[in-house]
Structure 1
Amino acid sequence: MKRNILIFVFLILAATSFKYRSKTQAGILNPDSRVLIEQTADSSNDPVTIVKTENDEIRSLDNQEREAYIKKDTVTLSRLWSPNLIVTNPDNSVKTISDIKNDFSKSSKSIPAFDRIIEKITINDNVAIVMGHENAITSNALEFKEKNINRRFSNIWMKDGSTWKLAARQATNISDK
């Protein structure tokens, strides 16, 4: 009887040991999950797991792109934009990266800050589609007044290896009426 109990306890310990060894360091059994896991530690050396989804990553990249565009930061934009980026601007012109950089260098006018409100992010394999609206306030120095501009946008991000790049953008001004 004691022998059977010892064998039973041994089998439970072996099964439990196998269960823990099959998990990742973060305790996730499925390594193919679309969730990125980062291990961090606070000052007390207690491990804390931060879960960052692809939606969070795209939202962050989209905001970085918006900030870099406002600052005309071509170094950051080169990192975020696909070399084949194509943009349909609110003025109905179609631009490439070289057109946009050319516009940056020609114009000393600053780009007005604008808010980008993301309403939906959809990810299908290596393509992320971001849709929402943007609000900007521009000032007309000649008329001494400000104008509120609202527009709808769609940004298309494509995953190249492990990096997301903005591949296409379309923006349309919304009429005040």
Structure 2
Amino acid sequence: MDTIDPRAGSRGGNTRELVGEALDTAIAAHPALAAVLAASDAVDRAIVTGDKATFLATLADDCVVNTPGNRVAGKAQIADFFERGQIDYAYYHKRIEHLEPYGPNVLVMGEETYVPRDGTSSPPTVSRRFTDLWRTDGDRWVIAIRQATIFHISPGGAD
């Protein structure tokens, strides 16, 4: 298991966890996987630090997201969600359970847990399953397709 914890001062922090020895083997065999993990870490940090430019740079211009709000959204709508504070987390943890090349792309699947900045003193903790399909855009990796489904919300103050 690999864990990072890049704390972002008062804005919050994010962590990433790789689950299973098979992922370590896959990363060693496919250098693109390490590049996608780095890009994934960057977008996760951008969410907790409020870095809209970095966040948007990790989305393909033609990306499609099936949102946890049960809507299909493109990049412009996702940018609007970010601007309105709907994508603003005090804490974010990504547990990667599946990571593999998928043709010229990379498929990442797992679970995310986050605490939104909702203006209350005791925000809820939200857990969701996710699937991201990353592809290259020039010399960088971007999210082309994303699916996220909430499966549990713990009331504020609960773990």
User: Superposition pairs for residues 46-125 of structure 1, below 5 Å?
Assistant: 53-107=31-85, 110-125=88-103
Distance 1:139 1:81 in 2: 22
How many residue pairs get matched?
Answer: 129
Question: Which of structures 1 and 2 has the bigger CA Rg?
Answer: 1
Distance 1:173 1:130 in 2: 17
Task: Please tell me whether the aligned partners of residues 139 and 147 of structure 1 are also in contact (alpha carbons under 8 angstroms).
Answer: no
Say whether residues 1:175 and 2:117 are aligned partners. no
TM-score of the aligned structures, taking structure 2 as reference length: 0.66
Q: What's the CA shift for 1:71?
A: 2.8
Residue 9 of structure 1: aligned partner: none
Query: Which residue identity is paired with 1:160?
Result: D
Distance 1:140 1:74 in 2: 18
2:104 pairs with one of 126, 135, 139: 126
- If asked which structure has higher relative contact order (CA below 8 Å, sep 6+), I would say 2
Q: What's the CA shift for 1:101?
A: 1.7
Taking structure 1 as reference, are residues 86 and 71 closer, same or farther at Cα in structure 2, changes over 3 Å only?
Answer: farther
Task: Give unpaired runs (5+ residues) of structure 2.
Answer: 1-26, 154-159
User: Superposition pairs for residues 139-154 of structure 1, below 5 Å?
Assistant: 145-154=122-131
Residue 34 of structure 2 aligns to a residue whose secondary structure is: helix
TM-score of the aligned structures, taking structure 1 as reference length: 0.60
Can you list the C-alpha shifts for 1:33-88, whole angstroms capped at 9, x where unaligned? xx99xxxxxxxxxxxxxx98222111111111111133332321333211011111
Distance 1:171 1:155 in 2: 9
Task: Give unpaired runs (5+ residues) of structure 1.
Answer: 1-34, 37-50
Q: What's the CA shift for 1:175?
A: 3.4
